[in-house]
């Protein structure tokens, strides 16, 4: 944010914990410091950044001559930065004169008074940090004291209920002032008073602003900068939504803590109860030590939203009580497990340890890979379980009658998002624990309406398959995902589902979120897919479970058949003849054990690593070799790879094998069109193989690569060009010119450089492997999403011989 948006004189009304901590945070940032303070905000001497500095000003801010934009100019200074007659100050108003004196003594404020009107002269920004029920009186005093000058400053507040404060503002000012920006810092403590002021109270915490359509944008910008200076992250939300959310996440927990402690404190044996209470009781009830007057005011001001939250909570307690009375272990487990995993998810949002935090905010850090050139590849490894099968095991297990035991489950964030979505629809799920998951199925019609949108992260597979099975439910649902997923086309499933009778709304261009109306009667259709897609086929088959009559899907080319195999494994008959598969609606699924094989898409990066590295000898264990997925094996073998399938067997209806690959020189080929759909996810890695092959490799009829997590054709073409690999891009394919004929096989094939993965995990992993034959290091940006499909990739890459380091950089 531009520095000109900072105020020069801030007035804090209410010098308690919140107001005092804001003053402390501003002081820590150097705002209004008397001398020698860092950051130079209003400092008289030794000012950095040149704001108002008398001498040595950088960037011309306030320089004696040739001052840009007039900042700090001797006359006509904007916002008073560095003006000789107006040093940056923090003022405070509080009814307690001793608190004012203590604030001055602590160096948090420059001066203050118990009378508001005496402090208004020259103020740029007023922060109202008084109890919610005191807002009306303070705003009325402020309006009277300012008069016409009210429009010349910015007013904001810190109250935790915005609807009541908005009403108070209208009553005091006669309308909602354009320069009033209602706000709420999501931070606090059970302590109170200016003596408890903490300059770090807002660091890393959120501040929610609730501007109205008529709020001045410059006023919003100035309040945003104020809180960012205090170290907070600023979000925006409408007033009603704010009050609903805070009633559930802040007000209700405080109400429960007050109630629990009061209930126990009124019992005769309270001393014994408190004596033996453990840390959990202490942690849960800590907030009962908060200011009672403040919380009384909050509950009065946000009464309706708090009562709605309390109604929901009481319903939940009643259901849990009933489960305990009946000894209903499944119902108890569903509640406890759902709560446990939701709590872990909450931690990930708070700590931003997961890309799923994008559901609420952009990630603060960027993850980069730095891969040194060269290295060897050898050993025996087992890559994580197949993501496609992991998704389907949870989905069909949840819809089955009985308990499904899953082993080899991929504990990546995409699969975990699917698992969590079913928890939110009332399915009891144990785990995952070291790849083991137990799903207590509820039957085809046993799912319950989730409390809010179902978030599937980066998982396009999950969203498209969910669309099919949710189209047949009795309740409305909304499917949403991360930033990357919201750019991916969903019309390809929404359109045929509408033909079946589903009512689905999408965002512009047929993109997420998907809003699916429940209670719609579905009918089977005969659908010719315009392009080969296992996700579309699976979506329609899942919808067909709920449809009247027969659902038939014809595919223009073979696609992975995991859904058909698993449905048959669960006792639901799916038939196939030639290019068409079909099923009859109205049946049931019976629980069955599932052993998820290792993911051939994940194995591909190591297959290519061994295929291009002289001296390599690598075994990948227990890899799924479903006939609809082995395009990568066929293509590498056609290129000359020494790749053999050993210990072939069938596990849970899926064929598996150990893949043994040794280095052999590769040759460029024209990739057979019939192999394209069988290797669609593996092409980023195969392009690296092509860059190391002798001659040119040509790919056509692969336009599907344009609409993956990124435009993978262009992303790979751009990255290969950075390394110096000649290529020619087409609308539906690419030509990659590999090593020249007769060029030595052991030396580097290309150079190094910096690659933008565009947040696409497969692009990031492909160029990591490419470093094995580079002459210089390869640096790959935006790699955080690798965890979505391949947890442990970095560890396995290092184990087989790559020199890969992770770097984090604050954005």
Q: Give the mean model confidence (pLDDT) for residues 440-452.
A: 93
**Burial grade of 56 (CB within 10 A; 0-12, 13-18, 19 or more):** exposed
Cα dihedral across residues 799, 802, 803, 804: positive or negative: negative
Rounded to 5 degrees, φ, ψ at 137 are -65, -45
| pLDDT at residue 679 greater than cutoff 50 | yes
Q: Write down the catalytic residue from 681, 735, 760, 782.
A: 681
Q: What is the CATH number of domain 3-32+88-237?
A: 3.40.50.720
Which helix H or strand E contains 403, and what residues bound it?
A: strand 403-407
Nearest alpha-carbon partner for 23 in 208, 218, 193: 193
Q: What is the CATH number of domain 244-327?
A: 1.10.3660.10
Least confident of 217-231, 310-324, 710-724: 310-324
Q: Please tell me the distance from the alpha carbon of residue 280 to that of residue 258, in angstroms, as a whole number.
A: 15
| pLDDT at residue 449 greater than cutoff 80 | yes
Q: What is the CATH number of domain 600-810?
A: 3.65.10.10
Measure Cα distances from 284 to 267, 279, 308 in Å. Answer: 19, 9, 22
Q: Give the mean model confidence (pLDDT) for residues 294-306.
A: 84
The mean predicted confidence, pLDDT, of the chain is: 85
Check if 735 is active-site.
no
Q: 26-69: per-residue pLDDT in tens?
A: 999 888 754 333 333 333 333 333 333 333 333 332 333 333 33
Judge whether 537 is annotated as a binding position: no
Q: 754-797: per-residue pLDDT in tens?
A: 999 999 999 999 999 999 999 999 999 999 888 767 888 999 99
Largest CA distance in the chain: 92
Q: 692-702: per-residue pLDDT in tens?
A: 999 999 999 99
* Angle, vertex CA 462, rays to CA 458 and CA 467, nearest 5: 120
Judge whether 460 is annotated as a binding position: yes
User: Do the beta carbons of residue 640 and residue 665 sit within 8 Å?
Assistant: yes
Judge whether 577 is annotated as a binding position: no
| pLDDT at residue 542 greater than cutoff 80 | yes
What residue segments make up the domains of the chain, in order of their start?
3-32+88-237, 244-327, 388-592, 600-810
- Fold designation for 388-592: UDP-n-acetylglucosamine1-carboxyvinyl-transferase; Chain (3.65.10)
What pLDDT is attached to residue 15? 92
| pLDDT at residue 188 greater than cutoff 80 | no
pTM score: 0.56
| pLDDT at residue 77 greater than cutoff 90 | no
| pLDDT at residue 260 greater than cutoff 90 | no
Judge whether 762 is annotated as a binding position: yes
Judge whether 488 is annotated as a binding position: yes
Q: 628-654: per-residue pLDDT in tens?
A: 899 999 999 999 999 999 999 988 778
HEC profile of 118-165 = HHCCCCCEEEECCCHHHHHHHHHHHHHHHHHHHHHCEEEECCCCHHHH
Judge whether 714 is annotated as a binding position: no
Judge whether 708 is annotated as a binding position: yes
Q: Please tell me the distance from the alpha carbon of residue 316 to that of residue 658, in angstroms, as a whole number.
A: 49
Q: Give the mean model confidence (pLDDT) for residues 293-319.
A: 86
Judge whether 535 is annotated as a binding position: yes
Q: 263-291: per-residue pLDDT in tens?
A: 877 766 655 666 666 667 777 777 777 77
What pLDDT is attached to residue 72? 35
Q: Give the mean model confidence (pLDDT) for residues 215-232.
A: 93
Q: Do 3-32+88-237 and 600-810 have matching folds?
A: no
| pLDDT at residue 597 greater than cutoff 70 | yes
Measure Cα distances from 259 to 281, 317, 469, 528 in Å. Answer: 13, 15, 42, 61
What pLDDT is attached to residue 414? 82
Q: Please tell me the distance from the alpha carbon of residue 722 to that of residue 471, in angstroms, as a whole number.
A: 45
Judge whether 712 is annotated as a binding position: yes
| pLDDT at residue 87 greater than cutoff 60 | yes
Q: Give the mean model confidence (pLDDT) for residues 148-171.
A: 86
């Amino acid at each position: 944010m531009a520095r000109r948006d900072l105020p020069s004189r801030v007035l804090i009304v209410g010098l308690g914990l919140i107001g005092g901590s804001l003053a402390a945070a501003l002081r820590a940032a150097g705002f209004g410091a008397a001398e020698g303070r860092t950051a130079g905000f209003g400092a008289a001497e030794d000012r950095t950044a040149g704001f108002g500095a008398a001498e040595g000003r950088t960037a011309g801010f306030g320089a004696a001559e040739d001052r840009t934009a007039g900042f700090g100019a001797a006359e006509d200074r904007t916002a008073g930065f560095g003006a000789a007659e107006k040093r940056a100050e923090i003022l405070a108003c509080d009814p307690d004169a001793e608190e004012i004196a203590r604030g001055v003594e602590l160096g948090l404020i420059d001066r203050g008074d118990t009378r508001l009107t005496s402090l208004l002269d020259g103020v740029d920004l007023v922060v109202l940090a008084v109890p919610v029920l005191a807002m009306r009186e303070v705003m009325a005093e402020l309006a009277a004291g300012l008069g016409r000058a009210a429009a010349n400053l910015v007013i904001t507040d810190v109250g935790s209920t915005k609807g009541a404060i908005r009403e108070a503002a209208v009553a005091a000012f006669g309308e909602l002032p354009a320069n009033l920006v209602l706000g709420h810092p999501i931070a606090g403590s059970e302590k109170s008073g200016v003596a408890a002021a903490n300059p770090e109270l807002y660091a890393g915490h959120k501040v929610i602003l609730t501007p109205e359509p008529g709020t001045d944008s410059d006023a919003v910008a100035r309040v945003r900068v104020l809180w960012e200076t205090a170290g907070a992250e600023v979000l925006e939300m409408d007033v009603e939504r704010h009050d609903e959310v805070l009633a559930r996440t802040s007000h209700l927990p405080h109400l429960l803590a007050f109630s629990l402690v009061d209930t126990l404190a009124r019992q005769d044996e309270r001393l014994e109860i408190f004596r033996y209470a453990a840390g959990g009781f202490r942690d849960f009830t800590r907030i009962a030590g908060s200011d009672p007057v403040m919380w009384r005011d909050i509950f009065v001001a946000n009464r309706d939203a708090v009562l709605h939250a309390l109604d929901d909570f009481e319903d939940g307690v009643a259901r849990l009580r009933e489960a305990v009375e009946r000894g209903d272990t499944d119902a108890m487990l569903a509640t406890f497990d759902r709560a446990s995993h939701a709590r872990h998810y909450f931690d990930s949002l708070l700590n931003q340890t997961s890309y799923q935090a994008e559901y609420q905010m952009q990630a603060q850090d960027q993850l980069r890979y730095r891969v040194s050139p060269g290295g060897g590849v050898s050993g025996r490894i087992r890559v994580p379980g197949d993501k496609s099968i992991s998704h389907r095991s949870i989905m069909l297990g949840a819809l089955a009658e009985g308990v499904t035991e899953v082993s080899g489950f991929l504990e990546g964030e995409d699969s975990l998002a699917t698992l969590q979505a079913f928890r939110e629809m009332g399915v009891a799920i144990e785990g995952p624990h070291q790849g083991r998951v137990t799903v207590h199925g509820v039957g085809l019609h046993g799912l319950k309406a989730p409390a809010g949108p179902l978030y599937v992260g980066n998982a396009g597979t999950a969203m498209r398959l969910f669309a099919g099975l949710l189209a047949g439910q009795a309740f409305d649902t909304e499917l949403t995902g991360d930033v990357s997923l919201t750019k991916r086309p969903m019309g390809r499933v929404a359109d045929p589902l509408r033909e079946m009778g589903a009512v689905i709304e999408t965002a512009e261009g047929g993109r997420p979120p998907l809003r699916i109306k429940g209670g719609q009667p579905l009918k089977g259709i005969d659908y010719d897919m315009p392009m080969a897609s296992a996700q579309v086929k699976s979506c329609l088959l899942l919808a067909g479970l709920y449809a009247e009559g027969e659902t038939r899907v014809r595919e223009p080319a073979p696609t992975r058949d995991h859904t058909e195999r698993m449905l048959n494994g669960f006792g639901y008959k799916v038939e196939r003849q030639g290019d068409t598969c079909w099923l009859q609606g109205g049946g049931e699924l019976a629980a069955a054990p599932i052993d998820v094989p290792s993911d051939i898409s994940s194995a591909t990066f190591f297959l290519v690593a061994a295929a291009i590295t002289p001296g390599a000898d690598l075994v990948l264990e227990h890899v799924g070799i479903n006939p609809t997925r082995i395009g990568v094996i066929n293509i590498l073998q056609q290129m000359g790879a020494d790749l053999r399938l050993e210990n072939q067997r069938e596990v849970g209806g899926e064929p598996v094998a150990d893949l043994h690959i040794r280095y052999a020189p590769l040759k460029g080929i024209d990739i057979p069109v019939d192999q394209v759909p069988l290797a669609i996810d593996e092409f980023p890695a195969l392009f690296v193989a092509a860059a190391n092959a002798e001659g040119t490799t040509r790919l056509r009829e692969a336009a599907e690569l344009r609409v993956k997590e990124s435009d993978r054709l262009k992303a790979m073409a751009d990255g290969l060009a950075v390394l110096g690999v000649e290529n020619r891009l087409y609308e539906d394919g690419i030509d990659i010119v590999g090593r020249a004929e007769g060029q030595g096989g052991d030396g580097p094939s290309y150079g190094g450089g910096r690659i933008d993965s565009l947040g696409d995990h497969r692009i990031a992993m492909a160029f990591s492997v490419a470093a094995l034959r580079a002459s210089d290091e390869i640096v790959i940006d935006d790699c955080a999403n690798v965890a979505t499909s391949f947890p442990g990739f970095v560890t396995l890459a290092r184990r087989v011989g790559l020199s890969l380091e992770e770097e984090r950089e604050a954005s």
